Structure 1
Amino acid sequence: MKKKFSTMKLQNRFLLILLLALTISATLFELLWLNKWALVNWTGNFEILQSQIDDEDFWTKLDKTAQNLSLPESSDDEAASKAIKPLLDLADKYTSIYLYEQEDGLYITGQYAKIMDEKHSGFRTFFDLGYRLTDGEGEDFRQGYLQFQNGKAQVVVVNYQRALFIYPYMFLSLLLSVLVFLGIVLFFMNRKMREVLALEQEILLMSTGDLTHPVPQYSKDEIGILANELNHLRISLNENIVREQESRKANQDLITALSHDLRTPLTILTGYLEVLRLGRTPEKQADYLDRCLKKASDIKELTDQMFSYALVSEEQETPDMSWLSTDYIFQCIQENCDFISLAGFTTNVKIPEVTGILLSDKTMINRIFTNLFSNILKYGDKGTPVIVRSSVRKQRFTVTVSNAIKQEHSDVGSSNIGLRNVQRMMQMMDGEMLLTKKTSSDSPGNHNISQNTSSAFASENVSGVFEVTLWFPLR
Structure 2
Amino acid sequence: MDNQRHTLNKKSEHVYHYKIAGLVAGALFFGTLISAVLFLSGDKILHSYFETSDYLYRIETHRMYTLQNWVNENNISASDTDQLSEWMSQQNLSNMFIQRNDNSLFRNLSTKSFSSSTVFQIQSLPDVAKRNAHRIDFSDGAADVFIYEGFEQKYYIILFLSTGLIGILTSMLIFFSGFKKEINDIRILNQKISDIGAGNLDTPISITGNDEIAYLTSGIESMRVSLLEKEQHEQEMKQAQQRLVLGMAHDLRTPLATLLTDLELLKRQPSETDKLKYAERALIKTQEIRTLSDQLFEYFLASAEEPVLLEPCESAKYALGDYLSELYLYLSQEGFEVYAEELFSQEVKVRIHMEYMNRIINNIFSNIEKYADRQEPIFFSTNRTDDYLIISFRNKIAAAPYSPSTGIGVKNIALMMQKMNGKMEQFADSTYYEIQLYFPICQDSFPSESTC
Range into which the TM-score falls when normalised by the shorter chain: 0.5 to 0.7
State which of 243, 246, 252 in structure 2 corresponds to 1:253: 243
> What count of residue pairs does the alignment treat as equivalent?
402
Structure 1 position 30, deviation (Å): 1.6
Q: What is the match of residue 162 of structure 2?
A: 172
> Over residues 107-162 of structure 1, what are the superposed CA-to-partner deviations in whole Å (9 max), with x where a residue is unaligned?
9744579xx9xxxxxxxxxx94xx4xx5354873321699x999xx9998646232
Distance 1:32 1:48, change over 3 A: farther
Structure 1 position 372, deviation (Å): 3.1
Alpha carbons 2:370, 2:403 under 8 Å: kept: no
Q: Alignment partner of 1:217: what SS?
A: coil
Distance 1:194 1:426, change over 3 A: closer
> Over residues 252-310 of structure 1, what are the superposed CA-to-partner deviations in whole Å (9 max), with x where a residue is unaligned?
1111211222133223313432443xx32324423422331332233234335435544
Structure 1 position 222, deviation (Å): 1.6
Distance 1:249 1:398, change over 3 A: closer
Q: What is the match of residue 34 of structure 1?
A: 40
Alpha carbons 1:391, 1:397 under 8 Å: kept: yes
Within a 5 Å distance, the mapping from 1:42-441 to structure 2 comes to: 49-51=55-57, 72=79, 78=82, 96-98=95-97, 109-110=106-107, 128=113, 131=114, 134-137=115-118, 140-141=121-122, 142-143=125-126, 158=148, 160-185=150-175, 195-196=185-186, 198-215=188-205, 217=207, 219-276=209-266, 279-283=267-271, 284-307=274-297, 309-310=299-300, 313=303, 316-324=307-315, 326=317, 329=320, 331-347=322-338, 358-361=349-352, 363=354, 365-386=357-378, 401-409=393-401, 415=407, 417-418=409-410, 421=413, 425=417, 428=420
> Over residues 306-358 of structure 1, what are the superposed CA-to-partner deviations in whole Å (9 max), with x where a residue is unaligned?
35544664563453135357367555444333333433434456779989674
The runs of 5 or more residues in structure 1 that have no matched partner are: 1-5, 117-126, 440-463
Alpha carbons 1:356, 1:474 under 8 Å: kept: no
Give the counterpart letter for 1:421 in structure 2. I
Q: What is the match of residue 453 of structure 1?
A: none
Alpha carbons 2:316, 2:344 under 8 Å: kept: no
Q: Calculate the TM-score normalised by the size of structure 2.
A: 0.65
What CA distance in whole angstroms lies between the structure 2 residues aligned with 1:275 and 1:352?
Answer: 51
Q: Calculate the TM-score normalised by the size of structure 1.
A: 0.62
What CA distance in whole angstroms lies between the structure 1 residues aligned with 2:160 and 2:389?
Answer: 90
Alpha carbons 2:295, 2:408 under 8 Å: kept: no
Q: What is the match of residue 9 of structure 2?
A: none
What CA distance in whole angstroms lies between the structure 2 residues aligned with 1:40 and 1:246?
Answer: 81
Identical-pair percentage: 21
What CA distance in whole angstroms lies between the structure 2 residues aligned with 1:202 and 1:398?
Answer: 44
Q: Alignment partner of 2:285: what SS?
A: helix
Structure 1 position 237, deviation (Å): 0.9
The runs of 5 or more residues in structure 2 that have no matched partner are: 1-11, 444-452
Structure 1 position 402, deviation (Å): 4.5
Give the counterpart letter for 2:410 in structure 1. G
Give the counterpart letter for 1:33 in structure 2. F
Whose relative contact order is higher, 1 or 2, with alpha carbons under 8 Å and at least 6 apart?
Answer: 2
Structure 1 position 239, deviation (Å): 2.3
Q: What is the match of residue 11 of structure 1?
A: 17
Structure 1 position 406, deviation (Å): 1.8
Distance 1:261 1:156, change over 3 A: same
Give the counterpart letter for 1:225 in structure 2. Y
Alpha carbons 1:387, 1:401 under 8 Å: kept: yes
Q: Alignment partner of 1:408: what SS?
A: coil
Cα RMSD of the aligned pairs, angstroms, is: 5.5
Q: Alignment partner of 1:9: what SS?
A: helix
Alpha carbons 2:35, 2:163 under 8 Å: kept: yes
Distance 1:43 1:251, change over 3 A: farther
Deviates more, 1:15-24 or 1:333-342: 333-342
